Structure 1
Amino acid sequence: MKIAVTGSSGLLGSALVSSLLGTGHGVVRLKRPEHWDPERRTVDISVFSGADAIVHLAGENIAAARWTTARKQRIRDSRVNGTKLIAETISRMGQPPQVFVSASAIGYYGDRGSEVLREESPPGTGFLADVCREWEAGTDAAARKGVRVVHLRTGLVLSPNGGALAKMLLPFKLGLGGKIGSGNQYWSWISLDDVCGAIVHCIQTAALHGPVNIVSPSPATNLEFTKTLGRVLRRPTISPMPAFAARLAFGEMADALLLASQRVEPAKLLASRF
Protein backbone atom coordinates (compact mmCIF):
# COMPACT_ATOMS: atom_id res chain seq x y z
CA MET A 1 0.00 0.00 0.00
CA LYS A 2 0.99 3.62 -0.51
CA ILE A 3 0.45 5.54 2.73
CA ALA A 4 0.85 9.29 3.25
CA VAL A 5 1.77 10.36 6.79
CA THR A 6 1.72 13.76 8.49
CA GLY A 7 3.55 14.30 11.77
CA SER A 8 6.17 11.79 10.66
CA SER A 9 8.99 13.43 12.64
CA GLY A 10 7.33 12.94 16.03
CA LEU A 11 7.71 9.99 18.39
CA LEU A 12 4.72 8.12 17.00
CA GLY A 13 5.06 9.26 13.40
CA SER A 14 8.70 8.24 13.06
CA ALA A 15 8.01 4.84 14.64
CA LEU A 16 5.03 4.30 12.34
CA VAL A 17 7.02 5.18 9.23
CA SER A 18 9.77 2.74 10.22
CA SER A 19 7.18 0.03 10.84
CA LEU A 20 5.45 0.62 7.51
CA LEU A 21 8.68 0.65 5.53
CA GLY A 22 9.83 -2.49 7.32
CA THR A 23 6.73 -4.36 6.20
CA GLY A 24 6.99 -3.35 2.55
CA HIS A 25 4.59 -0.41 2.36
CA GLY A 26 5.35 2.72 0.38
CA VAL A 27 5.39 5.86 2.54
CA VAL A 28 5.08 9.53 1.63
CA ARG A 29 6.13 11.81 4.49
CA LEU A 30 4.31 15.15 4.35
CA LYS A 31 6.69 17.85 5.48
CA ARG A 32 5.88 21.43 6.43
CA PRO A 33 5.97 23.83 4.69
CA GLU A 34 7.24 21.91 1.66
CA HIS A 35 4.10 19.81 1.19
CA TRP A 36 1.52 21.50 3.38
CA ASP A 37 1.04 24.43 5.74
CA PRO A 38 -2.13 24.50 7.86
CA GLU A 39 -1.50 28.09 8.96
CA ARG A 40 -1.50 29.30 5.36
CA ARG A 41 -4.05 26.67 4.34
CA THR A 42 -1.89 25.33 1.53
CA VAL A 43 -1.46 21.71 0.40
CA ASP A 44 0.42 20.18 -2.51
CA ILE A 45 -2.39 17.84 -3.54
CA SER A 46 -0.02 15.89 -5.79
CA VAL A 47 1.62 14.23 -2.76
CA PHE A 48 -1.66 12.40 -2.12
CA SER A 49 -1.88 11.08 -5.67
CA GLY A 50 -2.23 7.31 -5.67
CA ALA A 51 -2.29 7.06 -1.87
CA ASP A 52 -4.33 4.17 -0.49
CA ALA A 53 -4.41 5.71 2.99
CA ILE A 54 -3.62 8.98 4.73
CA VAL A 55 -2.52 8.88 8.36
CA HIS A 56 -2.73 12.32 9.97
CA LEU A 57 -0.72 12.60 13.20
CA ALA A 58 0.48 16.22 13.13
CA GLY A 59 -0.29 18.54 16.04
CA GLU A 60 1.30 20.74 18.69
CA ASN A 61 2.82 18.80 21.61
CA ILE A 62 0.28 19.22 24.41
CA ALA A 63 2.74 18.55 27.24
CA ALA A 64 5.72 20.62 26.10
CA ALA A 65 4.91 23.66 28.27
CA ARG A 66 2.32 25.15 30.63
CA TRP A 67 -1.04 25.94 29.09
CA THR A 68 -1.24 29.68 28.62
CA THR A 69 -4.20 31.06 26.69
CA ALA A 70 -2.01 31.45 23.61
CA ARG A 71 -0.60 27.94 23.90
CA LYS A 72 -4.06 26.40 24.27
CA GLN A 73 -5.08 28.20 21.09
CA ARG A 74 -2.07 26.75 19.26
CA ILE A 75 -2.90 23.25 20.54
CA ARG A 76 -6.46 23.61 19.29
CA ASP A 77 -5.64 25.25 15.96
CA SER A 78 -2.84 22.83 15.06
CA ARG A 79 -5.25 19.91 15.41
CA VAL A 80 -8.56 21.27 14.19
CA ASN A 81 -7.34 23.45 11.33
CA GLY A 82 -4.80 20.91 10.12
CA THR A 83 -7.38 18.12 10.10
CA LYS A 84 -9.92 20.26 8.25
CA LEU A 85 -7.32 21.17 5.64
CA ILE A 86 -6.42 17.53 4.94
CA ALA A 87 -10.10 16.47 4.88
CA GLU A 88 -11.07 19.28 2.51
CA THR A 89 -8.17 18.35 0.24
CA ILE A 90 -9.37 14.74 0.18
CA SER A 91 -12.87 15.94 -0.73
CA ARG A 92 -11.48 17.60 -3.88
CA MET A 93 -9.63 14.53 -5.11
CA GLY A 94 -10.95 12.65 -8.11
CA GLN A 95 -9.54 9.42 -6.69
CA PRO A 96 -9.39 9.85 -2.92
CA PRO A 97 -7.68 7.38 -0.59
CA GLN A 98 -9.63 4.41 0.71
CA VAL A 99 -9.19 5.48 4.33
CA PHE A 100 -8.32 8.60 6.31
CA VAL A 101 -6.86 7.70 9.72
CA SER A 102 -6.74 10.80 11.91
CA ALA A 103 -5.29 11.24 15.37
CA SER A 104 -7.49 11.97 18.36
CA ALA A 105 -7.08 11.17 22.06
CA ILE A 106 -8.82 9.68 25.07
CA GLY A 107 -8.95 13.23 26.37
CA TYR A 108 -12.30 13.15 24.53
CA TYR A 109 -13.80 11.43 27.58
CA GLY A 110 -12.66 13.94 30.20
CA ASP A 111 -12.22 12.96 33.86
CA ARG A 112 -14.55 10.00 34.44
CA GLY A 113 -13.41 8.22 37.62
CA SER A 114 -13.80 4.44 37.45
CA GLU A 115 -16.42 4.45 34.67
CA VAL A 116 -15.53 2.01 31.89
CA LEU A 117 -15.29 4.03 28.68
CA ARG A 118 -15.94 2.54 25.25
CA GLU A 119 -16.13 4.22 21.86
CA GLU A 120 -19.85 4.92 22.22
CA SER A 121 -19.41 6.66 25.60
CA PRO A 122 -20.42 10.34 25.53
CA PRO A 123 -17.78 13.06 25.54
CA GLY A 124 -16.57 14.63 28.74
CA THR A 125 -15.98 18.25 29.63
CA GLY A 126 -12.91 20.45 29.76
CA PHE A 127 -10.37 21.86 27.35
CA LEU A 128 -9.07 18.56 25.94
CA ALA A 129 -12.54 17.09 25.56
CA ASP A 130 -13.62 20.18 23.63
CA VAL A 131 -10.53 20.04 21.41
CA CYS A 132 -11.04 16.34 20.68
CA ARG A 133 -14.66 16.89 19.63
CA GLU A 134 -13.64 19.63 17.20
CA TRP A 135 -10.63 17.59 16.05
CA GLU A 136 -12.79 14.61 15.13
CA ALA A 137 -15.42 16.80 13.49
CA GLY A 138 -12.64 18.22 11.31
CA THR A 139 -12.70 15.04 9.20
CA ASP A 140 -16.31 15.58 8.07
CA ALA A 141 -15.44 16.70 4.53
CA ALA A 142 -13.60 13.42 3.89
CA ALA A 143 -16.49 11.38 5.29
CA ARG A 144 -18.95 13.21 3.02
CA LYS A 145 -16.74 12.24 0.08
CA GLY A 146 -17.36 8.61 1.01
CA VAL A 147 -13.91 7.95 2.44
CA ARG A 148 -13.72 5.63 5.45
CA VAL A 149 -12.60 7.72 8.43
CA VAL A 150 -10.99 6.38 11.61
CA HIS A 151 -10.37 8.53 14.70
CA LEU A 152 -7.46 7.23 16.78
CA ARG A 153 -8.46 7.91 20.39
CA THR A 154 -4.99 7.23 21.69
CA GLY A 155 -4.07 6.82 25.34
CA LEU A 156 -0.76 7.33 27.15
CA VAL A 157 1.89 6.12 24.70
CA LEU A 158 4.80 4.46 26.48
CA SER A 159 8.32 4.45 25.08
CA PRO A 160 11.71 4.97 26.72
CA ASN A 161 12.64 7.08 23.70
CA GLY A 162 10.18 9.91 24.29
CA GLY A 163 6.87 11.05 25.72
CA ALA A 164 5.70 10.61 29.30
CA LEU A 165 7.69 7.48 30.17
CA ALA A 166 10.98 8.99 29.07
CA LYS A 167 10.35 11.97 31.36
CA MET A 168 9.55 9.66 34.30
CA LEU A 169 12.63 7.47 34.02
CA LEU A 170 15.24 9.80 35.54
CA PRO A 171 13.34 10.72 38.74
CA PHE A 172 12.30 7.10 39.20
CA LYS A 173 15.88 5.89 38.70
CA LEU A 174 16.97 8.41 41.34
CA GLY A 175 14.42 6.97 43.76
CA LEU A 176 12.23 10.07 43.53
CA GLY A 177 9.21 8.43 41.94
CA GLY A 178 5.82 8.17 43.58
CA LYS A 179 2.11 8.35 43.03
CA ILE A 180 0.52 11.57 41.79
CA GLY A 181 -2.42 12.91 43.77
CA SER A 182 -4.55 10.11 45.22
CA GLY A 183 -3.05 7.59 42.83
CA ASN A 184 -6.55 6.25 42.19
CA GLN A 185 -6.91 7.86 38.76
CA TYR A 186 -6.83 5.44 35.84
CA TRP A 187 -4.12 5.81 33.23
CA SER A 188 -5.04 4.07 29.97
CA TRP A 189 -1.71 3.29 28.37
CA ILE A 190 -0.35 1.53 25.30
CA SER A 191 3.16 0.69 24.10
CA LEU A 192 4.57 2.53 21.10
CA ASP A 193 4.88 -0.72 19.14
CA ASP A 194 1.24 -1.58 19.79
CA VAL A 195 0.08 1.87 18.65
CA CYS A 196 1.87 1.34 15.35
CA GLY A 197 0.33 -2.11 15.01
CA ALA A 198 -3.12 -0.75 15.83
CA ILE A 199 -2.83 1.98 13.19
CA VAL A 200 -1.89 -0.57 10.52
CA HIS A 201 -4.80 -2.73 11.71
CA CYS A 202 -7.16 0.24 11.32
CA ILE A 203 -5.87 0.88 7.80
CA GLN A 204 -6.31 -2.72 6.73
CA THR A 205 -9.60 -3.53 8.49
CA ALA A 206 -12.46 -2.20 6.39
CA ALA A 207 -15.01 -2.78 9.15
CA LEU A 208 -13.33 -0.24 11.43
CA HIS A 209 -14.56 3.33 11.15
CA GLY A 210 -15.29 6.26 13.44
CA PRO A 211 -13.65 6.41 16.87
CA VAL A 212 -11.32 3.57 17.86
CA ASN A 213 -9.78 3.47 21.34
CA ILE A 214 -6.04 2.88 20.98
CA VAL A 215 -5.20 1.61 24.46
CA SER A 216 -4.14 -1.56 26.24
CA PRO A 217 -7.00 -3.75 27.52
CA SER A 218 -5.41 -3.44 31.00
CA PRO A 219 -5.62 0.16 32.25
CA ALA A 220 -3.81 0.81 35.51
CA THR A 221 -4.34 3.25 38.31
CA ASN A 222 -1.55 5.74 38.76
CA LEU A 223 -0.57 3.93 41.97
CA GLU A 224 -0.38 0.58 40.15
CA PHE A 225 1.59 2.17 37.33
CA THR A 226 3.99 3.78 39.79
CA LYS A 227 4.62 0.54 41.70
CA THR A 228 5.14 -1.41 38.48
CA LEU A 229 7.67 1.09 37.12
CA GLY A 230 9.51 1.13 40.44
CA ARG A 231 9.63 -2.66 40.49
CA VAL A 232 10.95 -2.86 36.92
CA LEU A 233 13.65 -0.28 37.72
CA ARG A 234 14.27 -1.81 41.17
CA ARG A 235 13.84 1.53 42.86
CA PRO A 236 11.60 2.67 45.72
CA THR A 237 8.49 4.73 44.95
CA ILE A 238 8.18 6.68 48.18
CA SER A 239 8.11 10.27 46.92
CA PRO A 240 4.49 11.10 46.13
CA MET A 241 3.45 14.31 44.40
CA PRO A 242 0.33 15.77 46.05
CA ALA A 243 -2.33 17.14 43.73
CA PHE A 244 -1.66 20.72 44.83
CA ALA A 245 2.04 20.32 43.98
CA ALA A 246 1.18 18.96 40.54
CA ARG A 247 -1.08 21.96 39.93
CA LEU A 248 1.61 24.38 41.11
CA ALA A 249 4.16 22.78 38.80
CA PHE A 250 2.01 22.23 35.72
CA GLY A 251 -1.07 24.42 36.10
CA GLU A 252 -4.27 23.41 34.31
CA MET A 253 -2.36 20.72 32.43
CA ALA A 254 -2.00 18.73 35.67
CA ASP A 255 -5.75 18.19 36.00
CA ALA A 256 -6.13 17.16 32.36
CA LEU A 257 -3.08 14.92 31.93
CA LEU A 258 -1.94 13.73 35.37
CA LEU A 259 -4.93 13.76 37.70
CA ALA A 260 -7.80 12.95 35.32
CA SER A 261 -9.08 9.37 35.41
CA GLN A 262 -9.89 7.60 32.15
CA ARG A 263 -10.62 3.87 32.34
CA VAL A 264 -10.79 3.18 28.62
CA GLU A 265 -11.52 -0.14 26.93
CA PRO A 266 -10.33 -0.89 23.36
CA ALA A 267 -13.69 -2.44 22.48
CA LYS A 268 -13.43 -2.08 18.70
CA LEU A 269 -9.86 -3.36 18.53
CA LEU A 270 -10.78 -6.41 20.59
CA ALA A 271 -13.91 -7.08 18.54
CA SER A 272 -11.85 -6.92 15.34
CA ARG A 273 -9.32 -9.40 16.78
CA PHE A 274 -6.35 -7.08 17.14
Structure 2
Amino acid sequence: MNILITGGTGLIGRQLIPRLLTLGHQVTVVTRRPEQARRRLDARVELWHELHERAHLNGIDAVINLAGEPVADRRWTAQQKERLCQSRWMITRRLVDLINASDTPPAVLISGSATGYYGDLGEAVVTEEEPPHDEFTHRLCARWEQIACEAQSDRTRVCLLRTGVVLAAEGGILAKMVPPFRLGLGGPLGSGRQYLPWIHIDDMVNGILWLLDNDLRGPFNMVSPYPAHNAQFAHTLGRVLHRPALLRVPETAVRLLMGESAALVLGGQRALPKRLEAAGFAFRWYDLQEALTDVLR
Protein backbone atom coordinates (compact mmCIF):
# COMPACT_ATOMS: atom_id res chain seq x y z
CA MET A 1 0.00 0.00 0.00
CA ASN A 2 0.96 3.62 -0.49
CA ILE A 3 0.46 5.16 2.96
CA LEU A 4 0.42 8.86 3.81
CA ILE A 5 1.35 9.79 7.39
CA THR A 6 1.16 13.04 9.33
CA GLY A 7 3.13 13.30 12.56
CA GLY A 8 5.64 10.80 11.19
CA THR A 9 8.54 12.12 13.30
CA GLY A 10 6.57 11.89 16.55
CA LEU A 11 6.68 9.22 19.25
CA ILE A 12 4.38 6.77 17.46
CA GLY A 13 5.34 7.63 13.90
CA ARG A 14 9.04 6.92 14.46
CA GLN A 15 8.21 3.35 15.52
CA LEU A 16 5.39 2.78 13.03
CA ILE A 17 7.24 3.77 9.86
CA PRO A 18 10.02 1.12 10.06
CA ARG A 19 7.35 -1.56 10.54
CA LEU A 20 5.43 -0.36 7.49
CA LEU A 21 8.60 -0.34 5.38
CA THR A 22 9.52 -3.84 6.57
CA LEU A 23 6.06 -5.04 5.48
CA GLY A 24 6.70 -3.66 1.99
CA HIS A 25 4.50 -0.57 2.11
CA GLN A 26 5.42 2.73 0.49
CA VAL A 27 5.42 5.57 3.03
CA THR A 28 4.98 9.29 2.46
CA VAL A 29 5.28 11.72 5.39
CA VAL A 30 3.80 15.20 5.51
CA THR A 31 6.18 17.54 7.33
CA ARG A 32 6.73 21.24 7.90
CA ARG A 33 10.47 20.61 8.39
CA PRO A 34 11.74 18.39 5.55
CA GLU A 35 15.42 18.74 6.51
CA GLN A 36 14.78 17.61 10.08
CA ALA A 37 12.49 14.79 8.91
CA ARG A 38 15.08 13.57 6.44
CA ARG A 39 17.63 13.22 9.25
CA ARG A 40 15.20 11.25 11.41
CA LEU A 41 13.49 9.01 8.87
CA ASP A 42 14.54 6.17 6.58
CA ALA A 43 15.81 7.30 3.18
CA ARG A 44 13.01 5.27 1.52
CA VAL A 45 10.36 7.59 2.99
CA GLU A 46 9.03 10.21 0.57
CA LEU A 47 8.46 13.65 2.08
CA TRP A 48 5.70 16.13 1.28
CA HIS A 49 6.14 19.70 2.49
CA GLU A 50 2.67 20.57 3.79
CA LEU A 51 -0.56 19.77 1.91
CA HIS A 52 -1.49 23.16 0.48
CA GLU A 53 -0.36 22.38 -3.06
CA ARG A 54 -2.25 19.08 -3.23
CA ALA A 55 -5.65 18.91 -4.95
CA HIS A 56 -6.50 15.28 -4.08
CA LEU A 57 -5.11 12.04 -2.67
CA ASN A 58 -5.51 9.83 -5.74
CA GLY A 59 -2.90 7.08 -5.55
CA ILE A 60 -2.84 7.05 -1.73
CA ASP A 61 -4.29 3.82 -0.29
CA ALA A 62 -4.38 4.78 3.40
CA VAL A 63 -3.89 7.87 5.58
CA ILE A 64 -2.60 7.71 9.16
CA ASN A 65 -3.09 11.07 10.88
CA LEU A 66 -0.90 11.41 14.00
CA ALA A 67 -0.10 15.14 13.91
CA GLY A 68 -0.68 17.48 16.84
CA GLU A 69 1.06 19.78 19.31
CA PRO A 70 2.08 17.84 22.48
CA VAL A 71 -0.66 18.29 25.07
CA ALA A 72 1.45 18.22 28.23
CA ASP A 73 4.51 20.27 27.24
CA ARG A 74 3.20 23.70 28.33
CA ARG A 75 0.66 25.30 30.66
CA TRP A 76 -2.78 25.68 29.13
CA THR A 77 -3.01 29.39 28.51
CA ALA A 78 -5.81 30.48 26.20
CA GLN A 79 -3.23 30.81 23.42
CA GLN A 80 -1.79 27.34 24.06
CA LYS A 81 -5.23 25.72 24.14
CA GLU A 82 -5.99 27.28 20.77
CA ARG A 83 -2.66 25.98 19.44
CA LEU A 84 -3.45 22.48 20.70
CA CYS A 85 -6.81 22.53 18.95
CA GLN A 86 -5.77 24.07 15.66
CA SER A 87 -2.67 21.85 15.30
CA ARG A 88 -5.08 18.89 15.18
CA TRP A 89 -8.21 20.30 13.62
CA MET A 90 -6.63 22.14 10.69
CA ILE A 91 -4.53 19.31 9.28
CA THR A 92 -7.39 16.84 9.80
CA ARG A 93 -9.73 19.20 7.94
CA ARG A 94 -7.24 19.47 5.07
CA LEU A 95 -6.87 15.68 4.85
CA VAL A 96 -10.64 15.19 4.85
CA ASP A 97 -11.08 17.79 2.11
CA LEU A 98 -8.42 16.08 -0.03
CA ILE A 99 -9.97 12.65 0.54
CA ASN A 100 -13.41 13.93 -0.45
CA ALA A 101 -11.94 15.61 -3.54
CA SER A 102 -10.31 12.39 -4.76
CA ASP A 103 -11.64 10.31 -7.63
CA THR A 104 -10.02 7.24 -6.04
CA PRO A 105 -9.89 8.14 -2.33
CA PRO A 106 -7.86 6.25 0.28
CA ALA A 107 -9.62 3.15 1.58
CA VAL A 108 -9.01 4.13 5.20
CA LEU A 109 -8.29 7.15 7.36
CA ILE A 110 -6.81 6.23 10.74
CA SER A 111 -6.92 9.43 12.77
CA GLY A 112 -5.59 10.30 16.18
CA SER A 113 -7.57 11.08 19.30
CA ALA A 114 -7.01 10.34 22.99
CA THR A 115 -8.65 8.87 26.05
CA GLY A 116 -8.95 12.52 27.08
CA TYR A 117 -12.07 12.37 24.89
CA TYR A 118 -13.90 10.99 27.93
CA GLY A 119 -12.67 13.59 30.41
CA ASP A 120 -12.15 12.60 34.05
CA LEU A 121 -14.58 9.76 34.81
CA GLY A 122 -13.05 8.60 38.08
CA GLU A 123 -13.60 4.91 38.87
CA ALA A 124 -16.09 4.27 36.05
CA VAL A 125 -15.11 1.57 33.57
CA VAL A 126 -14.70 3.34 30.24
CA THR A 127 -15.42 1.59 26.93
CA GLU A 128 -15.97 3.27 23.60
CA GLU A 129 -19.68 3.68 24.40
CA GLU A 130 -19.15 5.56 27.67
CA PRO A 131 -20.67 9.09 27.64
CA PRO A 132 -17.92 11.69 28.20
CA HIS A 133 -17.48 14.37 30.83
CA ASP A 134 -17.49 17.81 29.22
CA GLU A 135 -14.10 19.48 29.74
CA PHE A 136 -11.32 20.86 27.55
CA THR A 137 -9.76 17.53 26.53
CA HIS A 138 -13.17 16.21 25.54
CA ARG A 139 -13.97 19.25 23.42
CA LEU A 140 -10.56 19.08 21.75
CA CYS A 141 -10.88 15.37 20.90
CA ALA A 142 -14.59 15.44 20.06
CA ARG A 143 -14.13 18.11 17.39
CA TRP A 144 -11.00 16.33 16.11
CA GLU A 145 -12.98 13.11 15.69
CA GLN A 146 -15.98 14.90 14.19
CA ILE A 147 -13.82 16.41 11.45
CA ALA A 148 -12.16 13.04 10.70
CA CYS A 149 -15.54 11.33 10.41
CA GLU A 150 -16.52 13.65 7.57
CA ALA A 151 -14.25 11.48 5.38
CA GLN A 152 -16.44 8.43 6.04
CA SER A 153 -18.08 7.03 2.92
CA ASP A 154 -18.72 3.79 1.06
CA ARG A 155 -15.17 4.07 -0.26
CA THR A 156 -13.35 5.33 2.85
CA ARG A 157 -13.66 3.97 6.36
CA VAL A 158 -12.53 6.02 9.36
CA CYS A 159 -10.87 4.63 12.51
CA LEU A 160 -10.28 6.84 15.56
CA LEU A 161 -7.35 6.17 17.91
CA ARG A 162 -8.39 7.08 21.47
CA THR A 163 -4.87 6.64 22.77
CA GLY A 164 -3.72 6.41 26.37
CA VAL A 165 -0.24 7.07 27.72
CA VAL A 166 2.26 5.46 25.33
CA LEU A 167 5.23 3.74 26.98
CA ALA A 168 8.32 4.05 24.80
CA ALA A 169 12.07 4.16 25.30
CA GLU A 170 12.40 7.70 23.94
CA GLY A 171 9.91 10.51 24.46
CA GLY A 172 6.42 10.50 25.90
CA ILE A 173 5.58 10.42 29.58
CA LEU A 174 8.63 8.37 30.56
CA ALA A 175 10.99 11.04 29.25
CA LYS A 176 9.53 13.36 31.91
CA MET A 177 9.16 10.83 34.72
CA VAL A 178 12.34 8.77 34.58
CA PRO A 179 14.94 11.49 35.42
CA PRO A 180 13.43 12.46 38.82
CA PHE A 181 12.65 8.82 39.59
CA ARG A 182 16.28 7.86 38.93
CA LEU A 183 17.24 10.47 41.55
CA GLY A 184 14.85 8.93 44.06
CA LEU A 185 12.47 11.91 43.77
CA GLY A 186 9.51 10.10 42.25
CA GLY A 187 6.14 9.24 43.69
CA PRO A 188 2.37 9.44 43.19
CA LEU A 189 0.63 12.65 42.15
CA GLY A 190 -2.30 13.94 44.16
CA SER A 191 -4.41 11.16 45.67
CA GLY A 192 -2.75 8.53 43.49
CA ARG A 193 -6.18 6.92 42.98
CA GLN A 194 -6.75 8.38 39.51
CA TYR A 195 -6.46 5.87 36.68
CA LEU A 196 -3.71 6.05 34.08
CA PRO A 197 -4.57 4.15 30.87
CA TRP A 198 -1.31 3.02 29.28
CA ILE A 199 -0.13 1.10 26.22
CA HIS A 200 3.26 -0.29 25.21
CA ILE A 201 4.56 1.26 21.99
CA ASP A 202 4.69 -2.19 20.36
CA ASP A 203 0.99 -2.79 21.02
CA MET A 204 0.22 0.71 19.78
CA VAL A 205 1.99 0.07 16.48
CA ASN A 206 0.51 -3.41 16.15
CA GLY A 207 -2.96 -2.00 16.83
CA ILE A 208 -2.60 0.53 14.03
CA LEU A 209 -1.44 -2.22 11.66
CA TRP A 210 -4.46 -4.29 12.72
CA LEU A 211 -6.85 -1.45 11.88
CA LEU A 212 -5.04 -0.92 8.60
CA ASP A 213 -5.54 -4.54 7.54
CA ASN A 214 -9.04 -5.25 8.84
CA ASP A 215 -12.38 -3.85 7.72
CA LEU A 216 -13.09 -1.88 10.89
CA ARG A 217 -14.30 1.64 11.59
CA GLY A 218 -15.22 3.93 14.46
CA PRO A 219 -13.48 4.73 17.77
CA PHE A 220 -10.99 2.36 19.43
CA ASN A 221 -9.49 2.71 22.90
CA MET A 222 -5.76 2.19 22.28
CA VAL A 223 -4.91 1.12 25.82
CA SER A 224 -3.77 -1.95 27.69
CA PRO A 225 -6.58 -4.12 29.10
CA TYR A 226 -5.26 -3.33 32.60
CA PRO A 227 -5.13 0.42 33.40
CA ALA A 228 -3.19 1.33 36.55
CA HIS A 229 -3.80 3.78 39.36
CA ASN A 230 -1.33 6.64 39.40
CA ALA A 231 0.17 5.36 42.66
CA GLN A 232 0.52 1.84 41.23
CA PHE A 233 2.24 3.25 38.15
CA ALA A 234 4.66 5.31 40.26
CA HIS A 235 5.55 2.42 42.56
CA THR A 236 6.02 0.04 39.62
CA LEU A 237 8.28 2.52 37.82
CA GLY A 238 10.33 2.93 41.00
CA ARG A 239 10.63 -0.84 41.33
CA VAL A 240 11.82 -1.21 37.72
CA LEU A 241 14.40 1.55 38.25
CA HIS A 242 15.39 0.15 41.68
CA ARG A 243 14.54 3.45 43.33
CA PRO A 244 12.07 4.47 46.06
CA ALA A 245 8.88 6.13 44.86
CA LEU A 246 7.57 7.57 48.10
CA LEU A 247 7.54 11.34 47.52
CA ARG A 248 3.87 12.03 46.96
CA VAL A 249 3.25 15.40 45.28
CA PRO A 250 0.19 17.13 46.79
CA GLU A 251 -2.64 18.10 44.46
CA THR A 252 -2.22 21.79 45.32
CA ALA A 253 1.44 21.69 44.27
CA VAL A 254 0.56 20.01 40.98
CA ARG A 255 -2.10 22.64 40.24
CA LEU A 256 0.32 25.48 41.08
CA LEU A 257 2.93 24.01 38.75
CA MET A 258 0.69 23.00 35.84
CA GLY A 259 -2.38 25.20 36.09
CA GLU A 260 -5.42 23.90 34.22
CA SER A 261 -3.32 21.22 32.49
CA ALA A 262 -3.01 19.51 35.89
CA ALA A 263 -6.23 17.78 34.83
CA LEU A 264 -4.05 15.52 32.68
CA VAL A 265 -2.40 13.92 35.71
CA LEU A 266 -4.91 14.52 38.53
CA GLY A 267 -7.77 13.03 36.51
CA GLY A 268 -7.89 9.92 34.38
CA GLN A 269 -9.90 7.20 32.72
CA ARG A 270 -10.31 3.55 33.59
CA ALA A 271 -10.36 2.87 29.86
CA LEU A 272 -10.55 -0.62 28.36
CA PRO A 273 -9.90 -1.68 24.73
CA LYS A 274 -13.30 -3.32 24.30
CA ARG A 275 -13.71 -2.88 20.53
CA LEU A 276 -10.11 -3.73 19.68
CA GLU A 277 -10.24 -7.01 21.62
CA ALA A 278 -13.71 -7.83 20.26
CA ALA A 279 -12.25 -7.50 16.75
CA GLY A 280 -9.67 -10.17 17.59
CA PHE A 281 -6.60 -8.07 18.39
CA ALA A 282 -4.22 -9.77 20.85
CA PHE A 283 -2.15 -7.58 23.15
CA ARG A 284 1.45 -8.56 23.85
CA TRP A 285 1.92 -6.39 26.94
CA TYR A 286 -0.64 -6.84 29.74
CA ASP A 287 1.59 -6.50 32.80
CA LEU A 288 2.75 -2.96 33.63
CA GLN A 289 6.02 -4.02 35.27
CA GLU A 290 6.97 -6.19 32.29
CA ALA A 291 6.10 -3.37 29.89
CA LEU A 292 8.17 -0.80 31.78
CA THR A 293 11.07 -3.22 32.11
CA ASP A 294 11.03 -3.81 28.37
CA VAL A 295 11.04 -0.15 27.31
CA LEU A 296 13.59 0.93 29.95
CA ARG A 297 16.07 -1.94 29.68
Normalising to structure 1: TM-score of the pair?
A: 0.94
Letter in 1 for 2:6: T
Structure 1 vs Structure 2: percent identity of aligned residues? 44
Q: Contact between 1:36 and 1:44, CA under 8 Å: does it hold in 2?
A: no
**Cα distance in 2, alignment partners of residues 119 and 177 from structure 1:** 32
**Cα distance in 1, alignment partners of residues 130 and 155 from structure 2:** 25
Aligned to 1:50: 59
State the superposition RMSD in angstroms.
1.5
Equivalence map 1:56-135=2 (5 Å): 56-135=65-144
Aligned to 1:241: 249
Q: Does 1:209 align with 2:200?
A: no
**Cα distance in 1, alignment partners of residues 8 and 26 from structure 2:** 14
Q: Counterpart of 1:59 in 2: which secondary structure?
A: coil
Aligned to 2:11: 11
Return the offset for 1:144.
4.2
Q: Deviations over 1:206-265 (max 9, x none)?
A: 0x211011000010000111111111111101111111111111111111x101120001
**Cα distance in 1, alignment partners of residues 53 and 199 from structure 2:** 32
Aligned to 2:266: 259
Worse-superposed segment, 26-35 or 88-97: 26-35
Matched residue count? 268
**Cα distance in 1, alignment partners of residues 100 and 141 from structure 2:** 21
Q: Contact between 2:54 and 2:98, CA under 8 Å: does it hold in 1?
A: no
Return the offset for 1:45.
4.1
Return the offset for 1:172.
0.5
Q: Counterpart of 2:158 in 1: which secondary structure?
A: strand
Worse-superposed segment, 49-58 or 102-111: 49-58
Q: Contact between 1:91 and 1:145, CA under 8 Å: does it hold in 2?
A: no
**Cα distance in 2, alignment partners of residues 82 and 21 from structure 1:** 24
Return the offset for 1:146.
3.9
**Equivalent of residue 141 in structure 1, options 131, 139, 150:** 150
Return the offset for 1:33.
7.2
**Equivalent of residue 222 in structure 1, options 218, 230, 248:** 230
**Cα distance in 1, alignment partners of residues 280 and 140 from structure 2:** 30
Q: Deviations over 1:134-153 (max 9, x none)?
A: 00001233114641000000
Q: Does 1:270 align with 2:277?
A: yes
Gaps of 5+ in 2: 35-47, 282-297
Q: Deviations over 1:86-130 (max 9, x none)?
A: 011100000001100000000000000110111111122110100
